[in-house]
Structure 1
Amino acid sequence: MKTLPKSIGGMLLMMVSITAAAQNENSNSKEEGNRNVMLNAASANGPREIQIGLPSADVNVMENGLPVTYATNPHSVNTIWRGDASLSHQGLLKIAETAITTGNIGYAVNSFTQLGQKGFNGTLNYKSNHFGLQELSLNMNGEMAKNWFYSVNMYQDFDPGTFKIKSTPYQDRTQIYKALITRRYNNNAGEFTIGYKYSNSHNVYRYATQSAPFIYVGDGSVKEYGKFKLGITSYLPTDNTMTYRNMRTGEIEQTTLYDASLNKSSELTLMNKYHWDNGLDWTVA
């Protein structure tokens, strides 16, 4: 069976910034206090979208000072980023800082990747619920030679959702892998990191659970349509196959709804940080 062309993204990102040494990049005055940014009624795995009354294209998420995606179609935030064990810090940028940094109006998640540290360090996170969710993330980092450090991470998500979709076993099946090597130099004043990230995600819930038929009464209330139970019934057909025209070849082909939702991404990141004697930090990523 043929499948839809896979969306494969490779990004080499570059940004230069100079900041005062008195500011801690992981937690500073640019961030808000705790607003439970990872609590999200729409998704058990993604960041919460906080509405402020102004239009916003998507949830803004920063990692190491750069947006995790510059185009939410085809790469939505949830397909390539999760708040897992690979992060050393998560915070929430203020509205003003988000506007200056990204050009978008709203709050933004501010995160930093866990780099290698001395000794051997490991973090294991596991989450489950009574619906059958299995979410696992593992980070291991340490020193492999003098001034050379490593950090590797694995994220696995098996989420059947809160109600059964007959056409697919999972509403979200995502796997993300990261590997970073860091070289610290000049008595730890400088730090150069090269990292690679690969993500493979089936975000079925984006089309399968966010809409359903209902009857609008007219007084602001709604009532159920037929046997469709609001919030617990999928309106998708039981048959998982779909027919489409391949935009590259022009031929009629078949695939499944599950395979059609596949989103892949490969990302290479280079980062260099240096702390100058005059108290300034220089960061290139």
Structure 2
Amino acid sequence: MKVANPKAGETANVMLNASSDSGPRVVNIGLPASVGGTVILENGLPVTYDYMGQMPTLLWRQDNGIAKFGVLNITETALLASDVGVSVSTWTNRGTDKTKGTVSFTTNSFGLLRGDVGISGPLKNNWFYSASAFINMDPGTFRSNISTFLDKTQIYKGVINKKYNRGQIGVQYKYAYSEGISTKQSPYIYHQDGTVDKVDGFKIGRDSYLEQSGMIHTIDR
């Protein structure tokens, strides 16, 4: 029997961006995790240490400020992040030998507004810089009376980096703020033959009965 010893980042076969076109998919492996979902590392550190304040999948997005992207399996995540599950490992752009810039804008028929800008280049004496800005205003496919956008996210990053013959040292500043509505109940009628019909007053995949008022009424029995 031949046993392979794959390198980190080459052992996990995980479909990313399946539930979000700008963030990693939450992978549930049936074991409890302390991050509320998929572990996300940025420059070797978790993007957040307290997922009750902000979820990792909200404070990190796949933007033009990322230079390297990889996926770590359960064993690698346990060793590098001290957590259970599959993790995403990313490295910020720390500067380039020549000045480079990237700009992207995304929209759709629902009114999505997403801008992503990145620039990097050299300074003097082996000093380099990079800066990026990611803004996402996504109304989703559900109408809501309490918010125009179901996902409002801003991420700004700036890096100053010094490269040596045997290493590098740098400082990064990152500002990330995200708010949104993640719970979406869209009722429909499911039949035994696999077909579905809409409930009166609800468009399938478009209407929800939770976000319209922003309030949940409970009954004390």
TM-score using structure 2 length = 0.80
Q: Distance in 2 between matches of 1:173 and 1:126?
A: 15
Residue 30, structure 1, aligned to residue 30, structure 2: no
Q: Distance in 2 between matches of 1:179 and 1:130?
A: 32
Kindly state the Cα deviation for residue 75 of structure 1 after the two structures are TM-superposed: 1.3
Q: Which residue of 1 aligns with 2:111?
A: 132
Secondary structure of the residue aligned to 2:123 is strand
RMSD after superposition: 3.0
Partner amino acid, structure 1, of 2:178: S
When residues 33 and 96 of structure 1 are mapped into structure 2, their CA distance, relative to the original with a 3 A threshold, is closer
Q: Which residue of 1 aligns with 2:170?
A: 193
Q: Distance in 2 between matches of 1:178 and 1:198?
A: 6
Contact kept? 1:37, 1:48, Cα under 8 Å: yes
Secondary structure of the residue aligned to 2:76 is helix
Q: Distance in 2 between matches of 1:117 and 1:39?
A: 27
Moved more, 89-98 or 118-127: 118-127
Residue 162, structure 1, aligned to residue 136, structure 2: no
Residue 66, structure 1, aligned to residue 40, structure 2: no
Q: Which residue of 2 aligns with 1:257?
A: none
- 1:1-285 correspondence runs (5 A): 29-32=7-10, 35=13, 37-41=15-19, 43-56=20-33, 57-185=36-164, 188-204=165-181, 206-207=182-183, 209=184, 211-212=185-186, 227-236=201-210, 238=212
Aligned length: 208
Contact kept? 1:139, 1:153, Cα under 8 Å: yes
When residues 214 and 233 of structure 1 are mapped into structure 2, their CA distance, relative to the original with a 3 A threshold, is same
Kindly state the Cα deviation for residue 181 of structure 1 after the two structures are TM-superposed: 0.5
Kindly state the Cα deviation for residue 196 of structure 1 after the two structures are TM-superposed: 0.5
Higher relative contact order (CA 8 A, sep 6+): 1
TM-score using structure 1 length = 0.63
Q: Distance in 1 between matches of 2:189 and 2:160?
A: 56
Q: Distance in 2 between matches of 1:160 and 1:228?
A: 18
Secondary structure of the residue aligned to 1:163 is coil
Contact kept? 1:115, 1:180, Cα under 8 Å: yes
Q: Distance in 2 between matches of 1:224 and 1:120?
A: 54
Q: Deviations over 1:115-139 (max 9, x none)?
A: 1122211122333333222222111
Secondary structure of the residue aligned to 1:182 is strand
Q: Distance in 1 between matches of 2:75 and 2:126?
A: 38
Q: Deviations over 1:220-274 (max 9, x none)?
A: x9986653445321213645699xxxxxxxxxxxxxxxxxxxxxxxxxxxxxxxx
Runs (5+) with no aligned partner, structure 2: 1-5, 217-221
